[in-house]
Chain A
Amino acid sequence: MISIRGLKKFLGGKLVLEEVNLEVKQGETMVVIGPSGCGKSVLLKHMMGLLKPDAGQIIIYGKDITRMKERELNEMRKKFGMLFQEAALFDSLSVEDNVSFGLREHTNLNGQEIKKIVQEKLRMVGLGDIAGLKPSELSGGMRKRVGLARAIAMDPEIIFYDEPTTGVDPIMGDVINNLILELQDRLNITSVAVTHDMNSAYKIADRIAMLYEGKIVETGDVESIKTTRNPIVKQFIQGVAEGPISV
């Protein structure tokens, strides 16, 4: 489904991704873990086509998106949804206009139909009658859920989550985890999430991959990651200061 081969990226003179190889299967949730600043978000932005790699390929639906022209890439992006770290809601637009953005730009649905879809998506993420509010009037958890509603508004086939539970309280974090699982069950979406929240990773992942120093150092299902012998992965998932990962 998604196949990343030999991805390499320099940013600001620093080698952020050295050689990333990763396969994501149809319908699975792949969680990429790794320390802060190791390039997880950079990897995700490559999959969205927001960044161009210095070398390597990202094959999605059999096509290399790193070589695509913008028009072709935008056709592909209509099948994607993305939840940003701080939700990245358009703060000049209301919640309703945020959620319906893609529908208004890329479909011929009329106002009534769009309104109905917006209400349905907001209900799916557990939000009631807030369509008229501005993003600045929402709490962090609500913003993330509106961001999620916007990501699923066009019924995407692939969703990318950038730190879905960061910046919200633990309970809201679990609510978001449940939402991700529910979307997975209900819509059979392929998902890639990056996070350093291990509780979230264990809960939502079918498989986990660890990114460290620009490479994927281990990939496996939740059980195999929990019982790994790799000292880097072990140190990270146990969250201890001493070990091969220097802080």
Chain B
Amino acid sequence: MKGWFAGSGRGILSGVEHTGRVAIFFGQTLQFGLTARWKWKNIIEQMVNIGVGSLPVIMITGAFMGMVLALQSYYQLHKLAVETGIGALVGLSMARELGPVMTGIMLTARVGAAMAAELGTMKVTEQIDALQALATNPIQYLVVPRFLSCLILAPLLTVYTVFIGVTGGYLIGVKMMGINSAFYLSHTVSLVGPADIMTGLIKAVFFGMIIAIVSCYKGLTTTGGAEGVGKATTGAVVTSSILILIADFFLTIIFKIINM
């Protein structure tokens, strides 16, 4: 019994400690991001990697997500003879939920993992020490460009995912299932408004921050050689994915409360 208490106590303490450290890390990143001179070369390099590199993945995910959504809802709504509503259903789901969440998860897998592995390798090969020895702050030099790139590109890529998803839904609904195109589009336009798009983009901004902060933190706190880099990478992907889903839930509640 005593051991159990001690064990859970240690667990809680370490959880609180980690949360605190991540919060400090986030604060420092914001501070450097706002006050220090931006290193455009590094930011553009990261943006090309995150943005252009992720396009094919995002395209495939978005297209299939929209298509399967249209297909599935057609089978259900057809029974009630309201299948013209598919357009609105796909549009709303993509814009509010699936667009930002899927983009976030795909970015975590593709970009977050790479960030954690790269920074982790730099940590265990003393490159982070070398950076400091050259009078350069690792957060300013490595984390801020990644943070800004994720912050800007997550919403941009989300727009892309939503657009491709809605197009995929249209193709399935109109071209495959033969729903009247005019009905499909008018339903979509009348029910999906700017606020829906906006909430999705705000979510994406948060997801982008989560990915960059968690992955960079995991990378920079790596210890223990190649095994440690593996652990840091797994940890970054798992933690970011979970946090994205949790954040999604609470953001949805907040948007509901403020009537957005």
Q: Does B134 sit within 8 A of A, measured CB to CB?
A: yes
User: What residues on B are CB-neighbors of A150 within 8 Å?
Assistant: 134
Nearest chain B residue, comparing its CB with the CB of A81: B133
A105 touches B135 (CB 8 A): yes
A78 touches B126 (CB 8 A): no
B122, B125, B127, B134 — most chain A CB neighbours (10 Å): B134
CA distance A238 to B126 in the complex (A): 31
25 CB-based A-B contacts, threshold 8 Å: A45-B129, A48-B129, A48-B133, A50-B132, A74-B135, A74-B136, A75-B135, A77-B132, A77-B133, A78-B135, A80-B133, A81-B133, A82-B130, A82-B133, A84-B126, A84-B129, A84-B130, A88-B129, A90-B130, A91-B127, A102-B134, A105-B134, A105-B135, A105-B136, A150-B134
Question: Shortest Cβ distance from A167 into chain B, in angstroms?
Answer: 13
User: What residues on A are CB-neighbors of B132 within 8 Å?
Assistant: 48-50, 77
B129 touches A86 (CB 8 A): no
User: What residues on A are CB-neighbors of B118 within 8 Å?
Assistant: 92
- Quick one: which of B181-225 are within 8 Å of A by CB? none
User: What residues on B are CB-neighbors of A84 within 8 Å?
Assistant: 126, 129-130, 133
CA distance A82 to B133 in the complex (A): 7
Residues of B that sit less than 8 Å from A by CB: 118, 122, 125-127, 129-137
Q: Does A202 sit within 8 A of B, measured CB to CB?
A: no
Residues of A that sit less than 8 Å from B by CB: 45, 48-50, 70, 74-75, 77-78, 80-82, 84-86, 88-92, 101-102, 105-106, 150
CA distance A105 to B132 in the complex (A): 12
A88 touches B135 (CB 8 A): no
B125 touches A86 (CB 8 A): yes
CA distance A91 to B135 in the complex (A): 18
User: What residues on A are CB-neighbors of B136 within 8 Å?
Assistant: 74, 101, 105
Nearest chain A residue, comparing its CB with the CB of B41: A104
User: What residues on B are CB-neighbors of A49 within 8 Å?
Assistant: 132
Nearest chain A residue, comparing its CB with the CB of B223: A12
Across the A-B interface, the 10 shortest Cβ-Cβ residue pairs: A88-B126, A88-B130, A74-B135, A77-B135, A82-B133, A102-B134, A84-B126, A78-B135, A88-B127, A50-B129
B126 touches A86 (CB 8 A): yes
A101 touches B133 (CB 8 A): no
Taking a contact as CB atoms closer than 8 A, the residue among A85, A90, A92, A102 that contacts B135 in the complex is A102
User: What residues on B are CB-neighbors of A77 within 8 Å?
Assistant: 132-135
